[in-house]
Structure 1
Amino acid sequence: MLTIPLHTGDPIIDAYSLRVLTTGSVITQITFINREHESETNPHDPFVALITQALSAWYDGDVSKLRALPLAPAATPWASKIRTVLHRLPLGKTLSYTQLAQLANNPRAVRAAASACARNPFPLVIPCHAVVPQPTQHKLERNPELVTTAHFPSGNYAFGPDLKRALLKFDHQHSHQFR
Protein backbone atom coordinates (compact mmCIF):
# COMPACT_ATOMS: atom_id res chain seq x y z
CA MET A 1 0.00 0.00 0.00
CA LEU A 2 1.28 3.43 -0.96
CA THR A 3 0.25 6.81 0.38
CA ILE A 4 0.89 9.80 -1.86
CA PRO A 5 0.16 13.30 -0.51
CA LEU A 6 -1.54 15.84 -2.75
CA HIS A 7 0.01 19.30 -3.27
CA THR A 8 -2.41 21.33 -5.37
CA GLY A 9 -2.46 24.51 -3.31
CA ASP A 10 -6.17 23.99 -2.60
CA PRO A 11 -6.70 23.38 1.13
CA ILE A 12 -9.69 21.08 0.59
CA ILE A 13 -7.85 18.81 -1.87
CA ASP A 14 -4.57 18.98 0.03
CA ALA A 15 -6.27 17.70 3.21
CA TYR A 16 -6.20 14.34 1.42
CA SER A 17 -3.62 11.87 0.23
CA LEU A 18 -4.08 9.10 -2.29
CA ARG A 19 -3.94 5.56 -0.94
CA VAL A 20 -2.82 3.31 -3.79
CA LEU A 21 -3.02 -0.46 -3.82
CA THR A 22 -0.99 -2.39 -6.36
CA THR A 23 -0.55 -5.97 -7.46
CA GLY A 24 2.35 -6.82 -9.68
CA SER A 25 2.56 -4.18 -12.39
CA VAL A 26 -0.94 -2.68 -12.04
CA ILE A 27 -2.82 -0.40 -9.71
CA THR A 28 -5.83 -2.19 -8.25
CA GLN A 29 -7.37 0.66 -6.27
CA ILE A 30 -6.95 4.33 -5.49
CA THR A 31 -8.84 6.12 -2.77
CA PHE A 32 -8.70 9.48 -1.04
CA ILE A 33 -7.74 9.33 2.62
CA ASN A 34 -7.57 12.10 5.15
CA ARG A 35 -3.97 13.15 5.72
CA GLU A 36 -4.39 12.41 9.42
CA HIS A 37 -4.55 8.71 8.49
CA GLU A 38 -1.42 8.72 6.36
CA SER A 39 1.00 5.86 6.69
CA GLU A 40 4.63 5.47 5.70
CA THR A 41 5.36 4.69 2.06
CA ASN A 42 8.50 3.10 0.69
CA PRO A 43 9.99 5.95 -1.39
CA HIS A 44 11.83 3.39 -3.55
CA ASP A 45 8.65 1.68 -4.75
CA PRO A 46 8.56 2.25 -8.54
CA PHE A 47 4.91 3.27 -8.37
CA VAL A 48 5.75 6.23 -6.11
CA ALA A 49 7.78 7.98 -8.83
CA LEU A 50 5.24 7.08 -11.52
CA ILE A 51 2.29 8.45 -9.56
CA THR A 52 4.21 11.49 -8.33
CA GLN A 53 5.13 12.39 -11.93
CA ALA A 54 1.52 11.90 -13.04
CA LEU A 55 0.24 14.14 -10.25
CA SER A 56 2.86 16.78 -11.03
CA ALA A 57 1.67 16.86 -14.64
CA TRP A 58 -1.96 17.10 -13.46
CA TYR A 59 -1.04 20.07 -11.25
CA ASP A 60 0.19 21.73 -14.47
CA GLY A 61 -2.99 20.93 -16.41
CA ASP A 62 -1.87 17.75 -18.17
CA VAL A 63 -3.87 14.59 -17.37
CA SER A 64 -2.17 12.34 -19.93
CA LYS A 65 0.26 10.77 -17.42
CA LEU A 66 -2.46 10.37 -14.81
CA ARG A 67 -4.74 8.64 -17.31
CA ALA A 68 -1.84 6.45 -18.54
CA LEU A 69 -1.24 4.88 -15.14
CA PRO A 70 -1.39 1.06 -15.36
CA LEU A 71 -4.81 0.20 -13.94
CA ALA A 72 -6.23 -3.24 -13.31
CA PRO A 73 -8.83 -4.17 -15.94
CA ALA A 74 -12.43 -3.14 -15.37
CA ALA A 75 -14.55 -5.72 -13.57
CA THR A 76 -17.43 -5.67 -16.06
CA PRO A 77 -18.02 -4.66 -19.69
CA TRP A 78 -20.22 -1.78 -18.48
CA ALA A 79 -17.50 -0.50 -16.13
CA SER A 80 -15.07 -0.73 -19.05
CA LYS A 81 -17.35 1.43 -21.22
CA ILE A 82 -17.74 4.02 -18.46
CA ARG A 83 -13.99 4.04 -17.87
CA THR A 84 -13.33 4.55 -21.59
CA VAL A 85 -15.72 7.51 -21.78
CA LEU A 86 -14.27 9.16 -18.68
CA HIS A 87 -10.68 8.52 -19.79
CA ARG A 88 -11.39 10.55 -22.93
CA LEU A 89 -12.93 13.46 -21.06
CA PRO A 90 -10.71 16.54 -21.38
CA LEU A 91 -9.52 18.18 -18.19
CA GLY A 92 -12.01 20.79 -17.02
CA LYS A 93 -14.95 19.34 -18.94
CA THR A 94 -18.01 17.95 -17.26
CA LEU A 95 -20.87 15.81 -18.43
CA SER A 96 -24.16 14.68 -16.97
CA TYR A 97 -25.01 11.15 -15.96
CA THR A 98 -27.42 11.13 -18.92
CA GLN A 99 -24.63 12.13 -21.31
CA LEU A 100 -22.33 9.51 -19.76
CA ALA A 101 -24.93 6.77 -20.37
CA GLN A 102 -25.41 7.97 -23.95
CA LEU A 103 -21.66 8.02 -24.64
CA ALA A 104 -21.42 4.50 -23.18
CA ASN A 105 -23.99 3.43 -25.81
CA ASN A 106 -26.86 2.79 -23.41
CA PRO A 107 -28.89 6.01 -23.12
CA ARG A 108 -31.49 4.45 -20.80
CA ALA A 109 -28.85 3.34 -18.27
CA VAL A 110 -28.55 6.66 -16.43
CA ARG A 111 -28.80 5.06 -12.99
CA ALA A 112 -26.29 2.41 -13.98
CA ALA A 113 -23.90 5.16 -15.10
CA ALA A 114 -24.29 6.89 -11.74
CA SER A 115 -23.75 3.58 -9.95
CA ALA A 116 -20.59 2.90 -11.96
CA CYS A 117 -19.27 6.31 -10.93
CA ALA A 118 -20.06 5.58 -7.28
CA ARG A 119 -18.10 2.30 -7.48
CA ASN A 120 -15.15 3.77 -9.39
CA PRO A 121 -12.02 2.16 -7.91
CA PHE A 122 -9.75 4.85 -9.41
CA PRO A 123 -11.01 8.32 -8.46
CA LEU A 124 -9.01 11.18 -9.96
CA VAL A 125 -7.53 8.87 -12.64
CA ILE A 126 -11.01 7.95 -13.88
CA PRO A 127 -12.59 11.40 -13.31
CA CYS A 128 -15.99 10.42 -11.95
CA HIS A 129 -15.97 13.75 -10.11
CA ALA A 130 -16.56 15.39 -13.51
CA VAL A 131 -20.00 13.80 -13.83
CA VAL A 132 -22.76 16.08 -12.55
CA PRO A 133 -26.57 16.10 -12.48
CA GLN A 134 -28.33 17.09 -15.71
CA PRO A 135 -29.61 20.48 -14.40
CA THR A 136 -26.09 21.39 -13.26
CA GLN A 137 -24.63 20.36 -16.63
CA HIS A 138 -27.12 22.63 -18.42
CA LYS A 139 -26.01 25.53 -16.22
CA LEU A 140 -22.33 24.74 -16.81
CA GLU A 141 -22.84 24.66 -20.58
CA ARG A 142 -24.09 28.24 -20.36
CA ASN A 143 -21.56 29.35 -17.74
CA PRO A 144 -18.47 27.16 -17.14
CA GLU A 145 -17.29 29.61 -14.46
CA LEU A 146 -20.07 28.27 -12.22
CA VAL A 147 -17.64 25.59 -11.00
CA THR A 148 -15.57 28.29 -9.32
CA THR A 149 -18.46 29.34 -7.06
CA ALA A 150 -18.55 28.02 -3.52
CA HIS A 151 -21.80 26.08 -3.43
CA PHE A 152 -22.85 25.12 -6.92
CA PRO A 153 -24.92 21.90 -7.05
CA SER A 154 -22.25 19.38 -8.03
CA GLY A 155 -24.16 16.25 -7.02
CA ASN A 156 -23.05 13.31 -4.94
CA TYR A 157 -19.50 12.07 -4.59
CA ALA A 158 -18.12 9.15 -2.59
CA PHE A 159 -15.70 11.51 -0.82
CA GLY A 160 -18.20 14.31 -0.23
CA PRO A 161 -19.47 17.32 -2.15
CA ASP A 162 -16.76 19.68 -0.89
CA LEU A 163 -13.97 17.56 -2.40
CA LYS A 164 -15.97 17.12 -5.63
CA ARG A 165 -16.44 20.89 -5.97
CA ALA A 166 -12.76 21.51 -5.17
CA LEU A 167 -11.64 18.97 -7.81
CA LEU A 168 -13.97 20.46 -10.42
CA LYS A 169 -12.71 23.96 -9.64
CA PHE A 170 -9.07 22.82 -9.76
CA ASP A 171 -9.59 21.02 -13.08
CA HIS A 172 -11.35 24.06 -14.52
CA GLN A 173 -8.63 26.45 -13.40
CA HIS A 174 -5.82 24.22 -14.70
CA SER A 175 -7.41 23.25 -17.97
CA HIS A 176 -5.81 24.81 -21.03
CA GLN A 177 -9.22 25.31 -22.63
CA PHE A 178 -10.29 27.80 -19.94
CA ARG A 179 -7.03 29.74 -19.57
Structure 2
Amino acid sequence: MAHAETDLGHFGVCALGGLITQIVLPGDNEPTSTGQPTASDRELAGHGAAALTQFIHGNHHIDWPPYNPRVLVTAPFYRKVLAQLSFVGPGETVTYGELARRAGNPRAVRAAAGACAANPLPIIIGCHRVLPATGGTVGGYRGGQELKRALLAREGYQEG
Protein backbone atom coordinates (compact mmCIF):
# COMPACT_ATOMS: atom_id res chain seq x y z
CA MET A 1 0.00 0.00 0.00
CA ALA A 2 1.22 3.49 -0.87
CA HIS A 3 0.50 6.37 1.47
CA ALA A 4 -0.79 9.89 0.89
CA GLU A 5 -0.40 12.36 3.74
CA THR A 6 -2.72 15.34 3.30
CA ASP A 7 -4.22 18.08 5.41
CA LEU A 8 -7.41 15.97 5.43
CA GLY A 9 -5.63 12.98 6.91
CA HIS A 10 -3.69 9.86 6.01
CA PHE A 11 -4.92 7.93 2.95
CA GLY A 12 -3.72 4.66 1.46
CA VAL A 13 -3.80 3.36 -2.10
CA CYS A 14 -3.66 -0.33 -3.00
CA ALA A 15 -3.02 -1.87 -6.41
CA LEU A 16 -3.15 -5.42 -7.69
CA GLY A 17 -2.91 -6.90 -11.16
CA GLY A 18 -1.99 -3.56 -12.71
CA LEU A 19 -5.07 -1.76 -11.32
CA ILE A 20 -5.81 0.51 -8.38
CA THR A 21 -8.20 -1.62 -6.32
CA GLN A 22 -8.70 0.26 -3.08
CA ILE A 23 -8.46 3.68 -1.45
CA VAL A 24 -8.09 3.55 2.33
CA LEU A 25 -9.65 6.58 4.02
CA PRO A 26 -8.43 8.09 7.29
CA GLY A 27 -9.82 5.94 10.08
CA ASP A 28 -10.47 2.90 7.84
CA ASN A 29 -9.26 -0.49 8.91
CA GLU A 30 -6.45 -2.20 7.07
CA PRO A 31 -7.08 -2.76 3.36
CA THR A 32 -8.87 -5.85 2.16
CA SER A 33 -6.24 -8.28 0.94
CA THR A 34 -6.95 -9.80 -2.44
CA GLY A 35 -3.49 -11.07 -3.29
CA GLN A 36 0.18 -10.22 -3.25
CA PRO A 37 1.09 -7.01 -5.11
CA THR A 38 4.05 -7.06 -7.48
CA ALA A 39 6.72 -4.37 -7.71
CA SER A 40 4.80 -2.78 -10.59
CA ASP A 41 1.61 -2.83 -8.47
CA ARG A 42 3.46 -1.03 -5.68
CA GLU A 43 4.72 1.54 -8.20
CA LEU A 44 1.18 1.99 -9.56
CA ALA A 45 -0.12 2.48 -6.01
CA GLY A 46 2.51 5.19 -5.57
CA HIS A 47 1.23 6.95 -8.69
CA GLY A 48 -2.29 6.61 -7.32
CA ALA A 49 -1.23 8.13 -3.99
CA ALA A 50 0.38 11.07 -5.81
CA ALA A 51 -2.79 11.58 -7.88
CA LEU A 52 -4.93 11.38 -4.74
CA THR A 53 -2.79 14.02 -3.05
CA GLN A 54 -3.13 16.31 -6.08
CA PHE A 55 -6.90 15.81 -6.09
CA ILE A 56 -7.24 16.63 -2.40
CA HIS A 57 -5.14 19.75 -2.89
CA GLY A 58 -7.45 21.09 -5.60
CA ASN A 59 -6.52 19.51 -8.93
CA HIS A 60 -9.83 17.92 -9.89
CA HIS A 61 -8.79 17.04 -13.44
CA ILE A 62 -6.74 13.99 -12.54
CA ASP A 63 -5.80 11.29 -14.99
CA TRP A 64 -6.18 8.47 -12.48
CA PRO A 65 -4.06 5.39 -12.98
CA PRO A 66 -6.10 2.40 -14.20
CA TYR A 67 -8.55 1.27 -11.54
CA ASN A 68 -11.26 -1.33 -11.04
CA PRO A 69 -13.63 -1.69 -8.10
CA ARG A 70 -14.83 -5.09 -9.36
CA VAL A 71 -12.02 -6.81 -7.51
CA LEU A 72 -13.74 -6.09 -4.20
CA VAL A 73 -17.37 -5.46 -5.23
CA THR A 74 -19.22 -8.60 -6.25
CA ALA A 75 -22.92 -7.68 -5.91
CA PRO A 76 -24.32 -6.89 -9.40
CA PHE A 77 -26.50 -3.98 -8.24
CA TYR A 78 -23.61 -2.44 -6.29
CA ARG A 79 -21.52 -2.61 -9.48
CA LYS A 80 -24.29 -0.83 -11.39
CA VAL A 81 -24.49 1.88 -8.73
CA LEU A 82 -20.72 2.46 -8.78
CA ALA A 83 -20.74 2.53 -12.58
CA GLN A 84 -23.42 5.24 -12.53
CA LEU A 85 -21.64 7.11 -9.76
CA SER A 86 -18.50 7.30 -11.88
CA PHE A 87 -20.40 9.72 -14.16
CA VAL A 88 -20.93 12.21 -11.29
CA GLY A 89 -17.96 14.54 -11.56
CA PRO A 90 -16.27 16.96 -9.18
CA GLY A 91 -18.61 19.74 -8.11
CA GLU A 92 -21.72 17.72 -8.99
CA THR A 93 -24.00 15.93 -6.56
CA VAL A 94 -26.72 13.30 -6.85
CA THR A 95 -29.21 11.88 -4.36
CA TYR A 96 -29.25 8.26 -3.30
CA GLY A 97 -32.69 7.94 -4.94
CA GLU A 98 -31.45 9.34 -8.25
CA LEU A 99 -28.44 7.05 -8.13
CA ALA A 100 -30.71 4.04 -7.54
CA ARG A 101 -32.87 5.12 -10.49
CA ARG A 102 -29.85 5.50 -12.76
CA ALA A 103 -28.70 2.02 -11.70
CA GLY A 104 -32.03 0.57 -12.80
CA ASN A 105 -34.00 0.18 -9.57
CA PRO A 106 -35.54 3.42 -8.26
CA ARG A 107 -36.88 1.67 -5.15
CA ALA A 108 -33.44 0.47 -4.05
CA VAL A 109 -32.39 3.66 -2.30
CA ARG A 110 -30.95 1.84 0.72
CA ALA A 111 -29.06 -0.55 -1.54
CA ALA A 112 -27.59 2.45 -3.40
CA ALA A 113 -26.46 3.83 -0.03
CA GLY A 114 -24.99 0.42 0.79
CA ALA A 115 -23.07 0.42 -2.49
CA CYS A 116 -21.62 3.81 -1.62
CA ALA A 117 -20.58 2.56 1.80
CA ALA A 118 -18.92 -0.50 0.21
CA ASN A 119 -17.16 1.55 -2.50
CA PRO A 120 -13.52 0.45 -2.45
CA LEU A 121 -12.47 3.51 -4.46
CA PRO A 122 -13.90 6.54 -2.64
CA ILE A 123 -12.75 9.83 -4.13
CA ILE A 124 -11.94 8.18 -7.49
CA ILE A 125 -15.57 7.03 -7.65
CA GLY A 126 -16.90 9.97 -5.66
CA CYS A 127 -19.40 8.54 -3.19
CA HIS A 128 -18.89 11.75 -1.17
CA ARG A 129 -20.99 13.41 -3.92
CA VAL A 130 -24.12 11.46 -2.99
CA LEU A 131 -26.54 13.33 -0.73
CA PRO A 132 -29.82 12.39 0.94
CA ALA A 133 -32.98 13.78 -0.66
CA THR A 134 -33.96 15.43 2.61
CA GLY A 135 -32.08 18.69 3.02
CA GLY A 136 -30.19 19.83 6.06
CA THR A 137 -27.42 17.22 6.09
CA VAL A 138 -24.76 15.85 3.79
CA GLY A 139 -25.60 12.31 4.91
CA GLY A 140 -23.27 9.57 5.95
CA TYR A 141 -19.80 8.78 4.68
CA ARG A 142 -17.38 6.01 5.58
CA GLY A 143 -14.71 8.64 6.20
CA GLY A 144 -17.06 10.68 8.39
CA GLN A 145 -19.19 13.73 7.73
CA GLU A 146 -16.30 16.14 8.35
CA LEU A 147 -14.24 14.55 5.56
CA LYS A 148 -17.30 14.45 3.27
CA ARG A 149 -17.96 18.15 3.85
CA ALA A 150 -14.30 19.00 3.24
CA LEU A 151 -14.18 17.05 -0.03
CA LEU A 152 -17.43 18.62 -1.23
CA ALA A 153 -16.25 22.12 -0.26
CA ARG A 154 -13.02 21.65 -2.20
CA GLU A 155 -15.11 20.78 -5.23
CA GLY A 156 -17.18 23.96 -4.83
CA TYR A 157 -20.30 22.53 -3.17
CA GLN A 158 -21.90 24.90 -0.70
CA GLU A 159 -23.98 23.22 1.96
CA GLY A 160 -27.33 24.63 2.98
Are 1:5 and 2:5 an aligned pair?
Answer: yes
Of 160, 168, 175, the match for 2:152: 168
Aligned to 2:26, the other structure's residue is in SS state strand
SS across alignment from 1:135 = coil
CA distance in 2, matches of 1:15, 1:121: 18
Name the TM-score, length of structure 2 as normaliser: 0.76
Which whole-Å deviations, capped at 9, do the CAs of 1:121-148 have from their partners, x for residues lacking one? Answer: 1111111111111023xxxxxxxxxxxx
Residues 17-166 of structure 1 aligned to structure 2 (within 5 Å): 17-33=10-26, 45-53=43-51, 55-56=53-54, 59-63=58-62, 65-66=63-64, 69-73=66-70, 74-136=73-135, 153-166=137-150
- Cα separation, partners in 2 of 1:167 and 1:84, compared to 1, 3 Å: same
Deviations 1:50-81 (A, max 9, x none): 44146436722314x23x63224242221221
Give structure 2 stretches of 5+ with no counterpart: 28-38
Tell me if the contact between 1:26 and 1:72 (Cα under 8 Å) persists in the aligned partners: no
Measure the CA separation in 1 of the matches of 2:51 and 2:118. 26
How many correspondences in the alignment?
141
Bigger Cα Rg: 1
* AA partner of residue 27 (structure 1): I
Q: Which amino acid aligns with 2:22?
A: Q
Whole-Å separation in 2 of the counterparts to 1:52 and 1:93: 23
1:26-46 CA distance string (max 9 Å, x none): 222211126xxxxxxx9x823
When the two structures are superposed, what TM-score results if normalisation uses the length of structure 1?
0.69
Equivalent-residue separation in structure 2 for 1:161 and 1:72 (angstroms): 23
In the TM superposition, structure 1's runs of 4+ consecutive aligned residues that sit over 6 Å from their partners are none
For residues 146-175 of structure 1, give each alpha carbon's deviation from its aligned partner in whole angstroms, at most 9, with x where no partner exists.
xxxxxx5111111111111111111126xx
Q: Which residue of 1 aligns with 2:30?
A: none
Structure 1 match to 2:33: none
